[in-house]
């Protein structure tokens, strides 16, 4: 296994001061205008299509999409800078996050020319949101145990099956589906489909979270016929394509920054409350851990930018980063400052959302099996 630490990449991000300053100025103006209040886990639980369109108008959605497909031709590390600032502010980015983070790169790599022309410009304009249909009932984090079927019919493909924990399907314009098209072992015979929503034979049903909010969905495909051109990439190569997407999904700054708004409120409250040695030590420990994890995440982003697929390294970032996010919640809870409505609200969000941090995108047990395989231990 190669190291994920890449000092040169880190310096490249640190050098993007102008870009970082522009994003901070935009976010400050949005806060002043009252368009949002910081939230924990905003990239999963705070969709705001209007905010997304304002962000896109500044060129900060679809940044890495080439100009010929309506994007801005920026580097993954420049996108990393923008993502960090949005997450730190707790901005409402959930509407476009999945399409921008992993589906745009996947469509660019595997999509037909028609799919690229159709979806990529709309993603860059902040007008196309995409959800992902991977997990299935009674399968936990085992993505390979796919029972959803895709059967060839005269005018395309007929899709049958159920997906669960499909984030944002209630407002998405399309869903990417992993289905079995051919017989084979667990990872064989699988294909991906890019399916437009809504569809008369596809039902999107809400799954309420513990806090009563609606982020997840059950998506039922009832012999839903889709055009031949809905196939994404090569038939039977779905698992290979999905694992490449997971490197994008698991290594980004969102895997360690979901609770940064809470951390900032905690630090601010501690500072105003006077000297608290226990809190100061905890803040120091959290800060050191955050910096190390950031270096790892930047290193994976640089590896992805070179065209490699660092599956093992991405799994390590997600495993450690999601534990860190939960650690922030518990540390803030133990040493909580007195008062502060924002702190109380953010702490409540962190407590309620925290259990999902180590489950979504692959549970930590699954991630450790990926790491073990990458190290040759399996």
What is the DSSP track for 271-321? Answer: HHH---HHHHHHHHHHHHHHHHHHHHHHHHHHHHHTT---HHHHHHHHHHH
Q: Which pLDDT score, from 0 to 100, does residue 303 have?
A: 83
109, two tokens: 């790599």
Residue 378's pLDDT band, with cuts at 50, 70 and 90, is low
Whole-structure pTM value: 0.90
User: What are residue 219's DSSP bridge partners?
Assistant: 163, 204
Nearest one of 144, 138, 208, 201 to 178, comparing CA atoms: 144
Chain segment 30-39, per-residue pLDDT in tens: 999 999 999 9
Q: Which pLDDT score, from 0 to 100, does residue 175 have?
A: 98
What's the whole-number average pLDDT of the chain? 89
Q: Is the CB of residue 134 less than 8 Å from the CB of residue 163?
A: yes
What is the distance of C-alpha 169 from the center of its chain?
A: 14
Q: Which pLDDT score, from 0 to 100, does residue 2 have?
A: 43
Q: Is the CB of residue 216 less than 8 Å from the CB of residue 238?
A: no
Q: Which of 93-97, 205-209, 269-273, 342-346 has the lowest mean pLDDT?
A: 269-273
Which range has highest mean pLDDT (133-147, 313-327, 330-344, 351-365)?
Answer: 313-327
Q: Which pLDDT score, from 0 to 100, does residue 275 have?
A: 67
Q: Is the CB of residue 50 less than 8 Å from the CB of residue 218?
A: no
Mark out the alpha helices in 166-237 (DSSP H runs). none
Chain segment 229-259, per-residue pLDDT in tens: 999 999 999 998 988 777 777 778 888 899 9
Q: Quick check: 51 pLDDT over 70?
A: yes
Q: Which pLDDT score, from 0 to 100, does residue 228 have?
A: 97
Indicate the angle between helix axes 260-273 and 76-89, nearest 10 degrees.
Answer: 50
240, two tokens: 């290979």
**Could you tell me which residues come within 8 angstroms of residue 228 by beta carbon, excluding any fewer than 6 positions away?**
155, 156, 157
Average pLDDT over residues 194-223: 94
- Separation between Cα atoms, residue 134 and residue 315, nearest integer Å: 17
Q: Which pLDDT score, from 0 to 100, does residue 366 have?
A: 83
Q: Which of 66-75, 143-152, 254-263 has the lowest mean pLDDT?
A: 143-152
Average pLDDT over residues 303-328: 86
Average pLDDT over residues 127-136: 94
- Separation between Cα atoms, residue 11 and residue 362, nearest integer Å: 30
The Cα-based distances of 95 to 88, 89, 129, 137, 321 in angstroms read 17, 16, 6, 24, 22
Q: Is the CB of residue 87 less than 8 Å from the CB of residue 253?
A: yes
Q: Which pLDDT score, from 0 to 100, does residue 3 have?
A: 40
């Amino acid at each position: 296994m190669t190291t994920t630490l890449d000092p040169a990449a880190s310096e490249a991000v640190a050098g993007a001061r102008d870009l970082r300053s522009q994003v901070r100025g935009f976010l400050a103006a949005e806060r002043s205008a009252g368009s949002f209040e910081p939230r924990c886990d905003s990239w999963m639980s705070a969709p705001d299509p209007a905010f997304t369109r304002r962000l896109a108008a500044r060129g900060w959605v679809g940044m890495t999409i080439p100009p010929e497909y309506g994007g801005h031709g920026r580097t993954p590390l420049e996108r990393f800078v923008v993502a960090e600032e949005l997450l730190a502010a707790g901005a409402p980015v959930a509407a476009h996050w999945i399409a921008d983070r992993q589906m745009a790169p996947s469509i660019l790599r595997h999509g037909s020319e028609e799919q690229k022309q159709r979806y990529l410009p709309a993603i860059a304009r902040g007008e196309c949101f995409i959800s992902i249909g991977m997990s299935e009932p009674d399968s936990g984090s085992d993505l390979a145990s796919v029972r959803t079927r895709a059967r060839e019919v005269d005018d395309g493909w007929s899709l049958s099956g159920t997906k669960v924990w499909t984030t944002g399907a209630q407002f998405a314009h399309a869903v990417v589906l992993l289905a079995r098209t051919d017989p084979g072992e667990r990872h064989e015979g699988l294909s991906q489909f890019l399916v437009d929503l809504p569809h008369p034979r596809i039902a999107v049903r809400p799954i309420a979270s513990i806090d009563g909010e609606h982020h997840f969905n059950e998506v039922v495909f009832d012999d839903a016929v889709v055009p031949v051109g809905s196939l994404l990439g090569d038939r039977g190569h779905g698992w290979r394509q999905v694992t490449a997407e997971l490197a994008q999904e698991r290594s980004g700054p969102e895997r360690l920054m979901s609770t940064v708004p809470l951390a900032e409120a905690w630090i601010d409250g501690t500072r105003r409350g006077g000297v608290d040695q226990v809190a100061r030590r905890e803040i120091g420990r959290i800060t050191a851990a955050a910096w190390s994890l950031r270096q790892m995440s930047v290193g994976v982003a640089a590896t992805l930018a070179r065209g490699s697929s660092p599956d093992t390294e991405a799994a390590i970032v997600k495993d450690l980063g999601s534990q860190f996010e939960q650690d922030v919640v518990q540390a803030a809870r133990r040493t909580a400052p007195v008062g502060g409505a924002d702190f109380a609200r953010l702490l409540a969000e962190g407590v309620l959302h925290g259990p999902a941090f180590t489950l979504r995108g692959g549970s930590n047990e699954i991630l450790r099996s990926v790491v073990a395989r990458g190290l040759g231990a399996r």
